Chain A
């Protein structure tokens, strides 16, 4: 049997689409016959192989992309394997998954078919393992499309998973990966009639292309996460959590904090706590210099050269005389929007910083930040006042409102809360996505419903000819319909 699924790249911009899709269709067909027990054996083997290689793959990712911190990438790989596996291992994904005698509804899980998975450069091995696990758990073949700057590590991850799957008699070509990349090939694959779904994690243009392909797509949106330290917050704790989150993998997680909003009553303490943890407050002049290196003002986007780099590296690039052990660059800003580039999403250890006069002022700042490029994603609050937490949540447009939690790890789920561990965070309609859920195996199933006869008891006793009588008003019809019910 073939031991790898290397794709012939002789046509269509370097990608042999027909060959890939034929193999995927065959794998899909064979998958349809697998039992839950067989499926679970495959998933377990793939999890174990990915987990075993977590360090090797993290180092490969760091070396190839030059982004982030390899030790943190190990943690990402752990979440993508151990935590994801724990979350999905007992999930029923084959055959009858629920049977409700009273409602008469029986649900049957069916695979959706071949999935095309776009992988971001920021999580090039963890996202591969995560998507492969949820695809295999739902008996769907998957085609991995690595980022062009992370092809080696992403494809090695896919290869390791595929070998492990084959050892448990998984369908041949159930995992494929692209060895050559071209935008023509990617777009053509996304449009292919045999493709069931594009699982798009990446930048806005790629996610937009996935949505425009005509194939169903699950995408993500950009984040711009405000972290509000409220009046009742434990300030030292909050600052520590924010440092844990924002320095993680040098800020490459899209759910990482982009700004801190501190209640005025805590301003002095917060500053001291930040400085004690090697946070460096930028002067107005230094903010301008960081903006110049961190932000591409013409395109209105963060500069790729500083994504995932350390605070010391960025300070040096901006010609700022910060301590060599600086961990975060803090930019006290006077406003939000395009005139204040550091109020936008920057996937690096840079944080905008605001002092709020009171709760209302803080919430207004957070709303402005939330709606400045991060609609639907994630917001963060540190508070011990449940009423304020609920009030805050109700006016934010965010799929995840993480409370007293480092936002990067909190939004991804599984570590600090019971959200489903995921490397694809839905951002709802605000992020142009179909859901605000943390995407997981449940989203990769077609659910059939056997609907047994259960006639509405009110309808049985109701004279339906009354519907044809225009002289009877709505209230009377409703009363009649509900009589003795």
Chain B
């Protein structure tokens, strides 16, 4: 469901399935453990994600607010998921490509 890799001194978190509530719950602890350990800019790669739950929006905001995260980026965001960030009104607080 979730893979990590280091690229260009960034922690890339690759989500391999839709982020329904259950999946968010299952990966939350591991995700934030890695983010805190890495102390690097964080990238969420959403190439494989076509649905996100409310909890995933919260996780993005939490990741952005982590004290040791210098930069936070969402990449490969599919249009229907990008629209979710827009409707939620949090696209202005995140960098989405």
Chain A bound to chain B: yes
Chain A residues with CB under 8 Å of chain B are 1, 22, 25-30, 32-33, 113, 169, 171-173, 194
B83 at interface, CB cutoff 8 A: yes
* Identity of the chain B residue whose Cβ is nearest the Cβ of A28 in the assembled complex: B87
Chain A residues lying within 8 Å of B55, measured Cβ to Cβ, are 1, 172
Distance of A22 Cα from B89 Cα, bound (Å): 8
Stretch from B9-17, B36-44, B46-54, B69-77 forming part of the interface with A: B46-54
Chain B residues lying within 8 Å of A27, measured Cβ to Cβ, are 54
The answer to whether A171 touches B88 (Cβ under 8 A) is no
Near A by CB (< 8 A), chain B positions 6-31 give: 20-21, 25
Chain A residues lying within 8 Å of B96, measured Cβ to Cβ, are none
The answer to whether B21 touches A1 (Cβ under 8 A) is yes
The answer to whether A32 touches B20 (Cβ under 8 A) is no
Known pairs A26-B88, A30-B57, A172-B53 / 18 extra A-B pairs, C-beta < 8 Å: A1-B55, A25-B88, A25-B89, A26-B54, A28-B87, A28-B88, A29-B57, A29-B85, A29-B87, A30-B52, A30-B53, A30-B84, A32-B83, A33-B84, A113-B87, A169-B20, A172-B21, A194-B89
Distance of A28 Cα from B85 Cα, bound (Å): 10
Distance of A171 Cα from B86 Cα, bound (Å): 16
* Identity of the chain A residue whose Cβ is nearest the Cβ of B81 in the assembled complex: A33
B95 at interface, CB cutoff 8 A: no
Distance of A171 Cα from B88 Cα, bound (Å): 12
**In the assembled complex, how far is the CB of residue A137 from the closest CB belonging to chain B, in whole angstroms?**
18
Partner of A173, one of B54, B83, B84: B54
The answer to whether B80 touches A33 (Cβ under 8 A) is yes
Residue from the set A28, A32, A33, A194 with the largest chain B CB neighbour count within 10 Å = A33
Distance of A30 Cα from B56 Cα, bound (Å): 10
* Identity of the chain B residue whose Cβ is nearest the Cβ of A32 in the assembled complex: B87
Distance of A24 Cα from B52 Cα, bound (Å): 16
The answer to whether A26 touches B57 (Cβ under 8 A) is yes
Distance of A30 Cα from B87 Cα, bound (Å): 9
**CB pairs A–B below 8 angstroms (9 shown):** A22-B89, A25-B88, A25-B89, A32-B83, A33-B52, A33-B80, A113-B87, A169-B20, A173-B54
Chain A residues lying within 8 Å of B58, measured Cβ to Cβ, are 26
Partner of A169, one of B21, B52, B81: B21
Distance of A169 Cα from B18 Cα, bound (Å): 14
**In the assembled complex, how far is the CB of residue A28 from the closest CB belonging to chain B, in whole angstroms?**
5
Chain A residues lying within 8 Å of B52, measured Cβ to Cβ, are 30, 33
Chain B residues lying within 8 Å of A29, measured Cβ to Cβ, are 57, 83-88
Distance of A172 Cα from B88 Cα, bound (Å): 13
Chain B residues lying within 8 Å of A32, measured Cβ to Cβ, are 80, 83-84, 87
**In the assembled complex, how far is the CB of residue A1 from the closest CB belonging to chain B, in whole angstroms?**
6
Q: A1-B21, A25-B89, A194-B89 are in contact. Are A171 and B84 (CB under 8 A)?
A: no
What are the 8 A-B residue pairs with the smallest beta carbon separation, nearest first?
A29-B88, A29-B87, A172-B54, A29-B84, A25-B89, A26-B88, A30-B54, A26-B54
Chain A residues lying within 8 Å of B21, measured Cβ to Cβ, are 1, 169, 172
**In the assembled complex, how far is the CB of residue B65 from the closest CB belonging to chain A, in whole angstroms?**
15
Distance of A29 Cα from B61 Cα, bound (Å): 15
Residue from the set B80, B83, B85, B87 with the largest chain A CB neighbour count within 10 Å = B87
Chain B residues lying within 8 Å of A172, measured Cβ to Cβ, are 21, 53-55
